[in-house]
Structure 1
Amino acid sequence: MSVEWQPVRQSRTHELVLRSIEERVFAGELKAGDRLPPERELAPVLGVSRSALREALRVLETIGVLVAQPGRGPDAGARIVRNPDDALGRLLRLHFALGSYSLQDVLEARIVLERSSFETAADHASSDDLEEAEELVRGMAEPGVGVSVFNDLDTRFHVLIARSSGNALTSTLTSAVRESVRPLILRALEGVEDWPATARALNAQHRALLALVREGRGAEAADLVEQHIRGLHGTLVDEPFGP
């Protein structure tokens, strides 16, 4: 029986560069704050063209682990950073728009994450976190607050509570999931018949949630935030329009 040989799949050059940088991060040789050598030095060391190196650096910048500053000053060049929130939010938003996840998927993920966040925040939120949350709630209660501003403050409120829970990954995931449906939520709010009444009702829940967190009543806060999310986000699941 003859063997049918197939061409060996080769990695693209920039993928080899990515792998080399990843290996150094995993080995602890590169850490947040470290600078990479200039392109003119790094490219020949890696045995690749500067265009392949730039492509790899652009990928790393997109996923939030590198920032590149052009120029020749002391801040110029590529530096390793930790910026997962924006990167994960962008990635999830794109996959949601492409149909990788349904609104129902996002709804249930939000509920799991935020139930955990509010319950844990009741035990761990600092006074500074609670004061910042209070300011956000006051901002949402301002007379004449517009839908866009309200939506932004609403997002910040939920992400702040997740961050105050003390779990950085939960905070990042909450931010990414909330950002993925921000345009849909904004659209839904813009379509309500009585926006001032809707804003008051939503913010009454925000204020009640904050009070429960302040009083350490985590289980009740978890139940209320699920009700809060299903109230608005749940209606989006039944809407005929897509992202």
Structure 2
Amino acid sequence: MRHLLFAAAAVAAPAIAMAQTAPIVGDWYGTLNAGGNGLPLVFHIKADGSAAVDSPAQNAMGLVATASFADGRARVTLTAIPASFEGVLSADGKTLDGKWSQGGAQLPLALGRTPSAVQAVAAPIRPQTPKPPFPYRAEEVSYLNPVSGMKLAGTLTLPQGEGPFPVALLITGSGVQDRDETIYGHKSFLVLADALTRRGVAVLRVDDRGAGGSQAGDLMAATTADYATDVEAGVAFLRGRKDIDPGRVGLIGHSEGGLIAPMV
């Protein structure tokens, strides 16, 4: 009899979870005012309590989360970063008014059912973003990480001439970043690559696992040591090219990338 009760409870649990999240199932849109910058966020909530959060301006899509609803309040908790949203559902079920919590800070955040709930955010003016024509060559490249078996893709910029050239491999910070490390529309690695290549240094900038043309693998299980093997694969790729000086391969890391560089 005890086993039958446990079985019944196991069957009933998903149904209860679906009933609890039913009022908030669907897509929700809002804009977080973070340090004077409008950061659009999109929440995708499913009936089984699973959820995902998109931050398009940061090129962070599908961040895994969980959702719950009780006593008129919704809560969405991200699993990969210490962040969550908690809000009160309006009587008509069309808005959630609450707060975004992250790193000890709480910021007001209102969500709506339609994309129009996202406040209009003017495209930031980025005069530093390089614009063609460029006085150097840009080559789309890809190579395998022999440890993980995953393909990594990026852009190699080369000064004019035959070489061999010294080269810098750029390493992004934490989170899934594209090869330009685009944040709030600022392409910091593109700016850096442009400046170095104009001065005679080749630059390789690479999409992180799960971004752009690079394969994802199991991002939740990936460690800093795993990302270091991605960099090692990039170094090996560069040293195998005739237009690169194998004795002058440098690493430039930002944030977590600065921790990874000495590991390689």
Do both proteins adopt the same fold according to a TM-score greater than 0.5, normalized to the shorter chain? no
Range of TM-score over shorter length: under 0.3
Higher share in strand = 2
